[in-house]
Amino acid sequence: MDTAAIPHPPHRLPLLGDVVGLSPRRPVQSSLRLVRDLGPISVRRVLGTDIVTVGGADLAAEVDDDRRFAKHVGLGLRPLRLVVGDALFTAEDGEPNWRLAHDILRPAFTREAMRGYHATMLDVARELLASWDAAARAGAEVDVAADMTRLTMETIGRTGFGHRFGSFEHDRPHPFVTAMTRVLRFAQLSVSPTLVSVRRLLAGSARRNRADMDLMNRLVDDVIDARRRGETPDRDDLLGLMLRTAHPGTGRTLDPVNIRRQVITFMVAGHETTSGALSFALYHLTRHPEALARAQAEVDALWGQGDDPVPAFTDIPRLRYVRAVLDEALRLWPTAPGYFRAAREDTVLGGRYRLERGDWVVVMLPLLHRDPAVWPDPERFDPDRFAPGAARRRPAHAYRPFGTGQRACIGRQFALHEAVMALGLVLHRYHPVPDPGYDLRITETLTLKPEGFRLTLTRRVPAERSRDRVDAAEEAAR
């Protein structure tokens, strides 16, 4: 792609390129700082590779078009590709296993399927509440991102594969989570273009990386074998579908190595992003007491004064403001911060930038979600941007936290059902009190999460619930 006409950051260095200000530990945030003032499209050159970033809604609408562009397994996804190959998330568009797995697994993500997961999601959310109750009694802080990761890991393990990690039974993360985090970090550093010296340093941990991979594969194989041998109940969950279903058109089935890779993919894709979304949502609510009060009024109105509501499946879509809080949290800090798109044929973007077939760009979501042409006062946290009907007044491609087209997130409904219920229950039960000295820091692995964000929780009492409800109703009437 000829990038000469595309704006790039100042201070381009010979050979190295646009690396001044780039941080290997926080590539997304440091890239954002470099390109945010350059307009809807920009380019960074890093060691000879041109990284073209799209951050404007009009250009995003073009690259989101599945007829002109396809998913590209680019820089950010290569680490995961090293680990899980052509599984659903990391398959290139044309790879046969993508269509096969997509069609086999689709029934596991319908609204009806969510109904089947609801009770398990609720059980796990209750385990989070029990653990936070204990912290509240002891006056101890909770580490929000760590506990949300327990919640989402446990949820995908139980609903997807019938496996209990026992995440809330131990103080330390499950060994699978520790191994997975290290494997992804290792893969990330080993594909990073700037880090030859770090790669050398990493060679020392190659053995540990192999041990981590073995641990993950063993656990997954044990879960699969137990199901095959009938030692665990047969169910229509993700694993059941993969083991039993043939493709309706071709009759092909997924081979055992691919099933293992899909399980690991779902473990990774199915928990980090949702956990980050919940953590950011709580962070924003603690900074915006008026939004917190409205969200609490909404759950109180639905679930009443009692301490232990039992949410029905149909309650969850009724929590519209809680959902708007999550939507807005994902606008400001989309936990999967971007996606890569490659031209299917030679094409011209925005009427002036020529791309040859195979040339790729990255849609950087924190930029797209702040496009000033679409989002007034873009840095302000305002869940009302997602009030009923508001989305219809915006261009469709201005908000894409779950990706786009046929490669958009298959787990979107799953994530939202799980997250709205968990956040609703937390808000119904506690006053979340942040450390007043906390400034948002964001940690980057494959995804974004608030770092070091802790809360002290106090239990709400029934009388407060009705008072909140009246206050919010009064406020709404004013």
Which residues on neighbouring strands pair with residue 160, listed in sequence order? none
Binding-site residues from annotation for heme: 409
- Applying the rule CB under 6 A, the residues between 121 and 160 that interact with ligand HEM are 156
The least distance separating ligand HEM from the CB of residue 129, rounded to whole angstroms, comes to 20
Which DSSP state fits 13? B
Query: Quick one: which of 17, 40, 55, 270 contacts ligand HEM (CB under 6 A)?
Result: 270
Distances (CA, A) of 32 to 48, 100, 239, 458: 19, 36, 38, 37
If the CB atoms of residues 50 and 86 are measured against ligand HEM, the closer one turns out to be 86
Binding mask 31-70 for ligand HEM (x = CB under 6 A): ----------------------------------------
Pairing of strands 442-444, 430-434: unpaired
Which residue in 265, 273, 335, 404 is the catalytic one?
A: 273
CA 352 to centroid of chain Cα atoms: 33
102 makes contact with ligand HEM (CB under 6 A): yes
Q: How far apart are CA 58 and CA 344, in angstroms?
A: 19
The least distance separating ligand HEM from the CB of residue 276, rounded to whole angstroms, comes to 7
CB 289 within 8 A of CB 282: no
Q: Which stretch binds ligand HEM (CB under 6 A): 250-258, 344-352, 404-412, 435-443?
A: 404-412
Q: How far apart are CA 252 and CA 147, in angstroms?
A: 40
Query: Quick one: which of 55, 401, 424, 450 contacts ligand HEM (CB under 6 A)?
Result: 401
Which residues on neighbouring strands pair with residue 442, listed in sequence order? 450
If the CB atoms of residues 337 and 432 are measured against ligand HEM, the closer one turns out to be 337
Q: DSSP for 343-375? A: ESSSEEETTTEEE-TT-EEEEEHHHHTT-TTTS
Look up tokens 């999550």; give the residue. 326
Query: Quick one: which of 59, 285, 329, 415 contacts ligand HEM (CB under 6 A)?
Result: 415
Question: Please, what is the angle between helix 256-269 and helix 206-228, to 10°?
Answer: 110
Q: Which residues contact 6 (CB under 8 A, 6 or more apart)?
A: 41, 42, 43, 52, 353
Pairing of strands 353-355, 347-349: antiparallel
71 makes contact with ligand HEM (CB under 6 A): yes
If the CB atoms of residues 178 and 406 are measured against ligand HEM, the closer one turns out to be 406
Pairing of strands 360-364, 49-54: parallel
Binding mask 429-468 for ligand HEM (x = CB under 6 A): ----------------------------------------
- Applying the rule CB under 6 A, the residues between 249 and 268 that interact with ligand HEM are 265-266
H helices then E strands: how many in the chain?
17, 12
The least distance separating ligand HEM from the CB of residue 226, rounded to whole angstroms, comes to 21
As given in the structure block, the two tokens for residue 27 are 């590539």
The least distance separating ligand HEM from the CB of residue 202, rounded to whole angstroms, comes to 25
Question: Please, what is the angle between helix 272-287 and helix 256-269, to 10°?
Answer: 0
If the CB atoms of residues 353 and 414 are measured against ligand HEM, the closer one turns out to be 414
- Applying the rule CB under 6 A, the residues between 168 and 227 that interact with ligand HEM are none
The least distance separating ligand HEM from the CB of residue 306, rounded to whole angstroms, comes to 29
Which residue in 176, 402, 414, 453 is the catalytic one?
A: 402
Told to judge if 409 belongs to the known catalytic residues of this protein, a careful annotator would answer yes
Q: Would you tell me how many other CB atoms lie within 10 Å of the CB of residue 68?
A: 15
Query: Where in the sequence numbering do the catalytic residues fall?
Result: 273, 402, 409
List residues near ligand HEM by CB under 6 A: 71, 77, 88-89, 102, 156, 265-266, 269-270, 273-274, 277, 330, 335-336, 339, 401-403, 407, 409-411, 414-415
